[in-house]
Structure 1
């Protein structure tokens, strides 16, 4: 026990301390900025709508007005979906990085998105018209199978599982599953239906989808906050966590279930959007320190901000045409990933 405490104390000396004041500022300021960004995103589009009309459509909806219908049926679900997806992917990435102590962990890089995507492609090909609730369940299944395969493949190499091997196994499996998805889509002539989904886009998100998705995501994020203290200890090392009385295997199992729910829900709605879960947790740790009781809620807010503003930016690239939000985020995420990979290689 004393040795574990000494190890934890030594590691804490090398890491930046938690900054609750910074976390409080991010949560309050971020939520205000998110509300402003959502209002701006609803207002901006092929036909700009004044903010006053947006306010009336949300709080005093009149079904006889076309602009109110556009906001309620198209723009509001899109913006809410972006916020929920950003929060889900960011929290999933934070949990994965904390539990595995792998700075390169992300649901997209470790094959979860590709596995969920393959299952959705199979559903579109063999069970067209399947209710959205079942699509979410199959997304969970695909994400779970893919992460099990990634960990299994990465563990087969000499020297065991390392952060770099985990990412390489995830990249290889993601490429394979994506190729299978595209082959199935071409064979069954559903490529056009899935093309925008592959690139990651929020267009077409409906309130019905969000109503099904919200309880899953809310429960998963609440579970992540409950586990946050244990994840903080686990991020200091498994031996330290065990020495402090943590049931590490149970924590890892609960964390894995939460990650599958978050990643599967997000992929079922928005498609393949990567790098949110990679970038946001790193940024959050730089700002608030290493306490996951602050990292998880702040990651949720910052992830929502990233996706909402990225979607707004994607619509400004080539108006009035749509640019997939996943493509715009990848422009930022790929250089960030290369920087982290190079940094990780220097530290090995």
Structure 2
């Protein structure tokens, strides 16, 4: 008599989630629909067929100006910033092996804020285009300092990087507050930038930071496959032929470029780099060759939808996208942590 074969349990029979080109195409289609919604919604609603007509053939009407100049610019900025923050968040969590890490742990946000405050206070900067350059320099300098402090003989250490980032961020935040308290006029200029806004978006800002974004995306594409080995530990990765220190250097540089450029373009945006990688891992599994592109597309979608929501909730006024992300991202992240296992790497 043959021994009956045990049926596989549900856990054993369920294949692990895996990213796919089809999934990326679906996300791309949803993003296109969100972009169309972004061009339609505002204090002056415009029908979808009219939006498509104006995109194809502009005219001298006020609707054409709204769609082709104002809403197209802010939608493009949301897409670029969301893409960069989503990818930088996935890279940061992968390199630190910390599911609660985000690009702000590198001091990028606090460095950018401190540099913008210094630019306003010491140099009289009052143009958002010029904010971008101060923000980029500050973000880069802060990230470089954190990286230098958090690097040991064996290369960048995840725990030391987090501790160094926390210390440097606190120091720079104290410096920012000190400057603001000395000159309240600085506060009036600074608070417009620090909330994170795409209102009155200027494509000139995006064009200035786009080279840094592109360089970060290239580095991210080069570093993503190696993140799978790094999850096994530096010793295992080294035994398989990888140089963990060099790989981490490239990954941290990508985070610095992407998050720094995004912050320079619109100001600090919270929760995108923290929440989006968890959603990407839920959809694409744990393979970082898929997690990183999924995170980029989910981040772009989230930013566009947050901007649209900000135009609706206080209509006919607008709520800045940074505020919307903070209001929505906090509860969403709590739900993810309590009800799912997506935070596990």
Do both proteins adopt the same fold according to a TM-score greater than 0.5, normalized to the shorter chain? yes
CA separation of 1:327/1:133 partners in 2, compared to 1, >3 Å: closer, same or farther? closer
Which segment drifts farther, 302-311 or 288-297? 288-297
- Measure the CA separation in 1 of the matches of 2:186 and 2:67: 29
Which digits, 9 at most, give the CA deviation of each residue in 1:129-163, with x for residues without a partner?
Answer: 5887764444333223333555677799xxx9775
Q: Counterpart of 1:211?
A: 207
1:50-61 aligned within 5 A: 50-61=47-58
- Measure the CA separation in 1 of the matches of 2:199 and 2:62: 19
TM-score under structure 2 length normalisation: 0.82
- Measure the CA separation in 2 of the matches of 1:144 and 1:91: 17
Larger Rg: 2
CA separation of 1:285/1:55 partners in 2, compared to 1, >3 Å: closer, same or farther? same
After TM superposition, give the deviation of residue 336 of structure 1 in Å: 5.6
Question: Is the contact between residue 115 and residue 138 of structure 2 (CA under 8 Å) also seen in structure 1?
Answer: yes
Q: 1:193 aligns with which of 189, 195, 199?
A: 189
After TM superposition, give the deviation of residue 200 of structure 1 in Å: 1.3
TM-score under structure 1 length normalisation: 0.82
RMSD value over aligned CA atoms? 3.2
Which digits, 9 at most, give the CA deviation of each residue in 1:274-306, with x for residues without a partner?
Answer: 111111111111221122111111111000011
Aligned length: 325
- Measure the CA separation in 2 of the matches of 1:151 and 1:218: 21
After TM superposition, give the deviation of residue 91 of structure 1 in Å: 0.5
Q: Counterpart of 2:304?
A: 308
CA separation of 1:323/1:179 partners in 2, compared to 1, >3 Å: closer, same or farther? farther
Which segment drifts farther, 173-182 or 92-101? 173-182
Q: Counterpart of 2:29?
A: 32
Which segment drifts farther, 137-146 or 46-55? 137-146
- Measure the CA separation in 2 of the matches of 1:337 and 1:198: 22
1:1-348 aligned within 5 A: 17=16, 19-20=18-19, 23-62=20-59, 64-129=60-125, 135-150=131-146, 170-171=165-166, 173-185=168-180, 187=183, 189-335=185-331
Consecutive unaligned residues of structure 1, counting only runs of 5 or more, are 1-12
- Measure the CA separation in 2 of the matches of 1:142 and 1:279: 25
